[in-house]
Structure 1
């Protein structure tokens, strides 16, 4: 993993969520201040909102592309760390890593990138100036929807602090999971290249379909950060998010009608996975959905390694139910 990310050191842990928790706990001091983005994995945000304040850690939340807000946060707070995904979950917003690295470092702040959606095949954030990169190895790294794990990569000086915290607190990756991750990494480049190609074709197809209201994919010129993605990524990933031209029930009928993708809240595996966030990850809070733009008709589609025509035909028949 260190070779893939061009990192000095990597520590593997029990899950991607624990990788984020261990990194934040080890590197953000009590009373520190962090900056993060509105679009991100929900459980990461819940941890930062609910648990970090218990250590006196405060937080500024910015829109992913709002560099003025980032500069304002850096100017007016003693920021310890900027933690962001790129691409983000679920709208696949992209952050200019080189730009934000320079902004953070000029104020003495660290930059940690959650690169799970990109994988190290499509993006190497450390080479762009990030201090740390984390992955949920559950996703593309292992790649078979059958194991949970996470990792933190970066300068040895920083990863060592995470490792020391990890050795005290636990969250150890079990040996069988380590074996499964090693097995999965042997085909990482093959899987990701296949998923990049199929997802690009799928995004283009969906954007032209009359029953699709909007498509979110950084490979499309219509994406707000397409210009950033095409300069810092070598592929645009295997996840396509889109909004069905229908209401909650019409979208649910679409989800219930697909035959190939599994219904599950993960991504990055050989099998395609599809979910409707309004009844999956955000099922309990319409208020939270509204704040973060999660509409009832939003779909997140993780492309597997199946044939494009099979997947397309499956979506076409399912969209007829909308």
Structure 2
């Protein structure tokens, strides 16, 4: 008999979390309803109090959303997943569920700009403090801990410089201080990296990116153990940053092709990064698959591929970066990533534009930095587009 608990993630991406109705549909059903009917007042009472399983109201219980949660949890090797309306609502939900006034976060200083904005502008209003450290300096994480530290938070690879953090080493530091390690797995997805198996306690996703993979819908997820995720689920149940059933159905379809898409993204990104390194207009290329990457050896151990994001510094700073972005004809000028279509952006004035100049400098985000999310077009055409732009 098959060992269903040890199936490959590519198989889980297609088969896990399939909920069939009495009609026996082969593909996943889409349950577009706001609420669910019960058979009696007693049944309603038992379901609302959690004494009986079942669906009540689509803000916090929906079969299609449940199918997506079960599938993603299986792929990450987790007990449970809580799906949310977007990647940022996933981070908000975990913070609201797990933190209180007076708590402290140790965070990587290399994060998506909106995450830093959430930590500084909003969590700070409620008495949660944050200390930012280099994602690659394990000693700095230990030195930043205070008696109030509850969470460690990092992205690996980071946005936009693709820095790779040592998840196992940082998890050991967090656990020695009774803190939880949260890893944003957006750049790799479970197809390339499973942080929980490396020691992380929680994984967060912007499912909008590679999980959907085609720029169609928004979605987010928090993945971990039942015990850790229960207060996060209770926040979602009350506050309602909920994934819609339609978006959940689209994301289920996205998961089915995640493995083959990520392999293609990695192959094309590696070829593009190698070409960029040879161009005289390019001062530096950031891609974990390159041997020139500072954490190349760690990436080889921790990830099964380099991912689809390539960043590079141009000689000539902002003027050169803007000129290239304006001249490309094939690539899409948008700050989104993880799409079948290649996208190009200037992080210092888009995704990280709300950070102070000092914060951008501390994170290594210069004015000449360009980020490309390599899609599924023929890489020769992408190179030709950049060549004429340069």
TM-score band, normalised by the shorter chain?
A: over 0.9
Aligned to 2:191: 121
**Secondary structure at the counterpart of residue 274 of structure 1:** strand
Q: 2:376 aligns with which of 296, 305, 312?
A: 305
| Match 1:296 to one of 355, 364, 367 | 367
Q: 1:130: which partner in 2? A: 200
Cα 1:306/1:83, change in 2 over 3 Å: same
* Runs of 4+ more than 6 Å apart: none
Q: CA deviation at 1:52?
A: 1.5
Equivalent in the alignment of 2:300: 230
From the superposition, tell whether residues 282 and 105 of structure 1 become closer, same or farther in structure 2 (CA, over 3 Å): closer
Aligned to 1:195: 265
Q: What are the residue-to-residue correspondences of 1:148-187 with 2, within 5 Å?
A: 148-187=218-257
Q: How far is 1:60 from its partner?
A: 1.3
RMSD over aligned Cα, in angstroms?
Answer: 1.3
> Map of 1:1-322 to 2, 5 A cutoff?
1-74=72-145, 76-283=146-353, 286-319=357-390
Larger Cα-atom Rg: 2
Moved more, 240-249 or 262-271: 240-249
**Structure 2 unmatched ranges of 5 or more:** 1-71
1:281 shift after superposition: 2.5
The alignment covers a number of residue pairs equal to 318
Runs of at least 5 residues in structure 1 that lack an aligned partner in the other structure: none
Greater displacement, 273-282 / 190-199? 273-282
SS at match of 2:389: helix
Structure 1 residues 30 and 286: CA distance shift in structure 2, 3 A: closer
Q: Say which is worse superposed, 137-146 or 155-164, in terms of deviation.
A: 155-164
Tell me by how many angstroms 1:290 deviates. Answer: 3.4
TM-score (norm. length: structure 2): 0.79
Between the aligned partners of 1:101 and 1:250, the Cα distance in structure 2 is 40
Q: Secondary structure at the match of 1:243?
A: strand
